[in-house]
Structure formats: structure tokens, C-alpha cells
Amino acid sequence: MQPLPMESLIHTEGGAVANELRQRFNYALINPLIVQMRDWQDLPVVALETSPAPARAHRLPQLVDLGSISGNTYGDLTNRMRRYDKRGLSFFSALLKSKASVETVATHLKRQLLQRRRQERQPHWFRYYDPLVFRHLVWLLTPRQLTRLMGSVTHWSWQDRPGHWQTLERPEEAPRISWLELNRNQWLSIDRFAALNRSLRRLQAIAPDWPQDMVHWRWLDDTMRYLDETFGLPAEDQQFVAESAARYHPDLVMHPDIESQLNQAALAPPGAADRLRQFNNTAWNTIISDLKERT
């Protein structure tokens, strides 16, 4: 899988998004599990309702037609967005730009909500509308898959962190087909997104200097994948060891002393996290020094 050329397709929006909302984007997505119904029920919305749906229409993602919002409502909308910003939440899960009608955009986005794994009949709910999911799809999916996901949407903007927006320009021309054809490894990464995001939140607190960007997110996911496939570690141990590698040295899991502990943890208790917690500062310093000498 070739990495996405981030430099040409993604740019930072900054705080101007809220103020220039109506001029720059004509659609938006709202997650009713985040935004209370009273704050969006007066907006021109289309529920992304599909069958079989896991919830009633008012609990499903809502596509907002920003161009149809009246002047008075639009003025109040800015205040609602600010109120959610103060709580560390984004009122809109995504801001979208498209020349297509709201019905066309809604129909396409509905189709993306249910994705099938190979050799499985039961579809899986695909939470692409969640910015904590979409930010990882950008590095996980191929340009063709991203194009299929976006459909007629030419620009997709999401809040990466409070006050910081990223906008993805559709990599290719609008596709003729819309199914993503996710492969096995991509599904495994998607299954790890929740654990990956928990690790990222912890690293933000305990290692604030560790870069929080797509390159490092992908590296953290690759490290967790390696720990799973090589040692069969459970998710919590994968997280702890990967976080330790982020804090101390990216090649931590390759050190003989660490590999020995991981192999033993795969065979019998205690788990890898408990084993590594028993290392004192001297042991850690020796391991880190060894790894630095090899690079």
C-alpha cells in the first residue's frame, strides 16, 4: 500500500472554519451521540438511515444542508458551535464541500455506513463520520479507497483537536463505484482504532513531546500489529508495550531483553505489561543506551 501524499492533499484550516462556514462548505455531518438533539433538530438535516440500521433515525449521523439554513438560525449556530468548543467537543463531525445535491450526497454516505468483510455475510457499521476514526482512515486507506468513500464530496474537513481543523481534498475524480474493498490488514487496523486512540490520549499526557501526527499514528498501529502477530499479546499489553516504545525508543521491541520478556509473556503469566513494569530505571537506561548505540 502506497502512503498518501499528505503534503498536497491535506492542509490546516485553523480557526477560520467556524467564521467562514457558509462560504467554504455547503454540507456538514452531526453525530447525535455527541450533539444533543435540541441543538440540531431545527436545522435542515437528512438522517443517514440505512437498512439494517443499528439505531433509530434520530440517533444516526445527520447530514446538514448548510446552504439552506436561514440567517437567524445561522447566527445562533455559531454560538452553538462555540458552546461545544468550550466543552472540548466539535459540534460538526465533518464539514463537506460538494457540487452534488443533498440527496445525492446523503445517498452515497448512507452506502458507506455498512461495509462487508471478505467471506462474511453480516455487514459491519463503519464509523467514518467520527473524526477520531476519519483521521486514521486518511493514512490507512489507499487514494482510490478514499475517493470511493468521499464520492461527490471534493473536500472533507474534520477537527483534529480543539481549534485545529484538517481538510482533505479528494485524491481522484469522483468514482463510478462506491464500495471500499477493505482488505484484511485494514480491517485489523480499524478494529484497533479504539485502542490506538486510547494510547494516543495517554501519550499526550505522559509524553507530550512525542509527535502526534499521521506518520507516528501509523507507526504506533504498526507496532501494535507486530506485537499481535509475533507474540500474540492481548490488546492491553500491545498498548503498553507500544506506548513504551514511543516513550523510550522506536526499536524497543527489537531489543533482546524485551523480546525475551515478550516471548515469555506469550507462554505464561504475568503479561508483558506487568513484566516490563518490573524493570527498574537502571534496566531501562541500559536498554535505551544499547538501542541508541545501534542506530
Residue-range domain boundaries for the chain: 6-182, 186-294
Write a three-state SS string for the chain.
CCCCCHHHHEEECCCHHHHCHHHHCCEEEECCCCCCHHHCCCCCEEECCCCCCCCCHHHCCEEEEHHHCCHHHHHHHHHHHHHHHHCCCCCCCEEEEECCCHHHHHHHHHHHCEECCCCCCCCEECCCCCHHHHHHHHHHCCHHHHHHHHCCEEEEEEEEECCEEEEEECCCCCCCCCCCCCCHHHHHHHHHHHHHHHHHHHHHHHCCCCCCCHHHHHHHHHHHHHHHHHHCCCHHHHHHHHHHHHHHCCCHHHCHHHHHHHHHHHHCCCCHHHHHHCCCHHHHHHHHHHHHHHC
List pLDDT tens digits, range 122-176.
Answer: 889 999 999 999 999 999 999 999 999 999 999 999 988 777 889 999 998 888 8
**9 falls in which pLDDT band (50, 70, 90)?**
low
Q: What confidence category does residue 295 fall into, taking pLDDT thresholds of 50, 70 and 90?
A: confident
What is the band of 1 on the pLDDT scale with cuts at 50, 70, 90? very low
Per-residue model confidence (pLDDT) at position 5? 44
Q: Mind listing the pLDDT tens digit for each residue in 43-52? A: 999 999 987 6
Mean pLDDT over 27-49 rounds to 95
pTM of the predicted model as reported, rounded to 2 decimal places: 0.91
Looking at residue 207, what is its pLDDT?
96
> Model confidence over 82-124: pLDDT tens digits?
899 889 899 999 999 999 999 999 999 999 999 989 888 888 9
pLDDT for the residue 178: 83
